[in-house]
Amino acid sequence: MKKYIIYIAILAAGLILGYVFFGKSAEGNSNTKDVSDMSDSTNEQNQMWTCSMHPQIMQPEPGDCPICGMDLIPAETGADGLAMNEIKMTENAMALANIQTTIVGNVSGTDENTMQLSGKIMANEEANAVQASYFEGRIEKLNVNFTGEEVRRGQLLATIYAPTIVAAQQELLTAASMKESQPALYKAVRNKLKLWKLSENQINQIESSGKVRENFPIYATVSGTVSQKMAEEGDYVKQGQPIVKVSDLGTVWAMFDAYERQISQLKEGQKITVTTNAYPNKEFEATVSFIDPVLNTKSRTVSVRATLNNKEDILKPGMFVTAKVTMTKGSDKMESQITIPASAVMWTGERSLVYVKTNPNEPVFEMREVTLGTKNGDVYTISEGLKNGDEVVTNGTFTVDAAAQLQGKKSMMNTKGGKTMTGHEGHLGMENANGNSTTDHSQMTKRLDVSSKFKEQLNTVFENYVSVDKALVNDDAETAKKSANGLQKSIEKVDMKLLKDDAHKHWMTLEKELKASTSAIANTSDIKKQREHFIHLSAHLINAVKTFGINQKVYVDYCPMANNNVGAYWLSKDKEIRNPYFGADMLDCGSVTDEIE
């Protein structure tokens, strides 16, 4: 009996110990599960769903892709880890649109106390030389064939027929026969020929041969690169008239613009470090050689010049460069005022928007609303929205916005983000449960009030655009090239003086983008490249037509398979789909997504 009592006691102790150790753990797991479930529930509320084939589709709940019917997947998995309103562009698209960014603020944003200046490379004017003709005559032979050609000192540049030198040689031969009796005359004639840069040997050869030469050479007096041809073969040149301009690029100038508040940190002889996008891992040491004593009253900047050693010939005039300047003690107390170029800002009538590069190592961008301060020339101060060290798109802003529209992200035309237009939608709206098209007017571009004359000019731009569109539909690259030239001329004829305030600002930015895309189409016969540029051209013209209106009704068409399955839009006069991105291969691919009255 005693033995059974001991067994029961051991069993009871085991049960108690089991509850203490395993029961608490189970409760902990249960609590953990509750927390996890809460976290998952929160994530599900913020979860967006996209299509792996059509990343422009962005919906708040799972379902089927409205374009291809595939199951939607979580946005984090299908969007390369981007945030909801971030957009990623390809390197090719960045190059085609010439998208450029600038880091804003006085300090670079690193732990170094440095100030950044932006500028470009120029030829060193102190090393420039103009090669002129020493006498009147006709250029019989020009040995410089093109701008950029290298020449060496003493190299034959040109051969000139010079009637005045022919007459002077006759005088020399006559004076040589009388040099015993008329030594002063003989010496004067020889000196006259020397003034025309004939050498002692050349004069002796003429005298010893007794023959008159008709053509005379001109030799280079300096070595360098031909930066400008100022005459051609057959031209008649006067004495002292320039023939070629030669630049010695062994040293070059880096010209920077420094704002008024930065002047106190700069002085001649100061060491700076220069970098360029062409060689991102290479730094060039330079010295400030000149600071303009006069302030530009429009931009409130002064020109700062630094001389760079270029013996390796890797710095080309026209290159964009950035300089880092070490700031003096106490300068960190200087007010940090953010400024950006006007080209970085987009206006919607009520908001001012910029695109910020959120990943320094990849082309990832996000739209941000800013508050503008005062404007000095082409530069705005920023009151709110940007911080020191932010990297902002300063060229190609509208192209980035167009890409954001295509990918269904937050953009100028779509303030809420998410899907705005697909091949299964109409009027910038979404189909309701009955399949009827509804319009979300809150997402449409604000129509600005402009004169009928401006609308007529924009209408002409649209008609020329249609000519480019038809050429691409017909797979005719040469006609597209010619039509783009006509479109370029019609854009240049648009009179900006007809616009005021927000309309004027908006058109200035759009005009720059339209010209860039049109010029790119006009400068290539590769129809694939033409179609790539037509994507950007169409996005900007759609924006213009929606903003200002034209004197006819037009349709916005969409092809989900264009632009590497990202999708692309274009404008047309008719409801019938004629696809400019694929031509005869997929002529009917696409659908009407909007009608602009």
Selection from 123-127, 213-217, 475-479 with the highest mean pLDDT: 475-479
Q: How far is CA 502 from the centre of its chain?
A: 23
What are the structure tokens assigned to 318, written together?
A: 């026209």
User: Residue 89 — φ and ψ, nearest 5°?
Assistant: -110, 155
Neighbour order of strands in the sheet with 591-596:
568-572, 554-559, 591-596
pLDDT at 128 over 60: yes
Q: How far apart are CA 462 and CA 460, in angstroms?
A: 5
Comparing CA positions, the residue from 581, 519, 411, 566 lying closest to residue 97 is 519
Residues 6+ apart with CB under 8 A from 295: 260, 301, 302
pLDDT range class, residue 40, cuts 50, 70, 90: very low
Comparing CA positions, the residue from 297, 295, 294, 597 lying closest to residue 439 is 597
pLDDT at 474 over 90: yes
Q: How far apart are CA 515 and CA 489, in angstroms?
A: 9
The pLDDT value given to residue 331: 46
Specify whether the CB–CB gap between 567 and 56 falls below 8 A.
Answer: yes
For range 475-480, the mean pLDDT:
94
Comparing CA positions, the residue from 203, 255, 211, 246 lying closest to residue 225 is 246
Listed in order, strand segments (DSSP E) in 525-586 are 554-559, 568-572
Q: Fill in the DSSP letter of residue 337.
A: -
Specify whether the CB–CB gap between 228 and 104 falls below 8 A.
Answer: no
For range 88-110, the mean pLDDT:
71
Comparing CA positions, the residue from 400, 431, 406 lying closest to residue 565 is 406
The pLDDT value given to residue 247: 79
Q: How far apart are CA 78 and CA 515, in angstroms?
A: 35
The pLDDT value given to residue 432: 32
Specify whether the CB–CB gap between 175 and 186 falls below 8 A.
Answer: yes
For range 249-256, the mean pLDDT:
87
Count of beta carbons in the 10 Å neighbourhood of residue 268: 11
For range 325-335, the mean pLDDT:
56
What are the structure tokens assigned to 505, written together?
A: 């600002």
435 Rama sector, left if φ>0, alpha if ψ -120 to 50, beta otherwise: left
What are the structure tokens assigned to 463, written together?
A: 């008609």
What are the structure tokens assigned to 206, written together?
A: 């003429």
Q: How far apart are CA 570 and CA 557, in angstroms?
A: 5
Specify whether the CB–CB gap between 467 and 485 falls below 8 A.
Answer: no
Specify whether the CB–CB gap between 372 and 382 falls below 8 A.
Answer: yes
pLDDT at 453 over 50: yes
Using CB atoms within 10 A of its CB, is residue 78 exposed (0-12), middle (13-18) or buried (19+)? buried
Q: How far apart are CA 357 and CA 364, in angstroms?
A: 6
* 518, β-bridge pairs: none
pLDDT range class, residue 441, cuts 50, 70, 90: very low
* 119, β-bridge pairs: 256, 321
Specify whether the CB–CB gap between 224 and 129 falls below 8 A.
Answer: yes
What are the structure tokens assigned to 101, written together?
A: 């960014």
Q: How far apart are CA 250 and CA 263, in angstroms?
A: 29
pLDDT by residue (tens digit) across 60-90?
Answer: 788 887 766 677 777 654 445 666 678 888 7
Using CB atoms within 10 A of its CB, is residue 461 exposed (0-12), middle (13-18) or buried (19+)? buried
pLDDT by residue (tens digit) across 2-35?
Answer: 666 666 767 666 666 666 555 544 444 444 434 3
HSE value, Cβ hemisphere, 13 Å, CA-based, for 472:
31
Q: How far apart are CA 434 and CA 40, in angstroms?
A: 33
Q: Choose between 192 and 328: higher pLDDT.
A: 192
Specify whether the CB–CB gap between 254 and 305 falls below 8 A.
Answer: yes
Instruction: List helix spans (H) across 334-451.
Output: 397-406
Q: How far apart are CA 116 and CA 445, in angstroms?
A: 37
For range 166-173, the mean pLDDT:
79
The pLDDT value given to residue 304: 92
Q: How far apart are CA 176 and CA 164, in angstroms?
A: 18
Using CB atoms within 10 A of its CB, is residue 145 exposed (0-12), middle (13-18) or buried (19+)? exposed
Specify whether the CB–CB gap between 169 and 212 falls below 8 A.
Answer: yes
pLDDT at 444 over 50: no
**357: enclosing H helix or E strand:** strand 352-359
**What counts of helices (H) and strands (E) characterise the chain?**
13, 28
Listed in order, strand segments (DSSP E) in 292-360 are 301-309, 320-326, 338-341, 346-347, 352-359
pLDDT by residue (tens digit) across 270-319?
Answer: 999 998 888 888 889 898 999 999 988 877 788 999 988 888 888 888 88
C-alpha triplet 526, 398, 528: angle, nearest 5° = 10
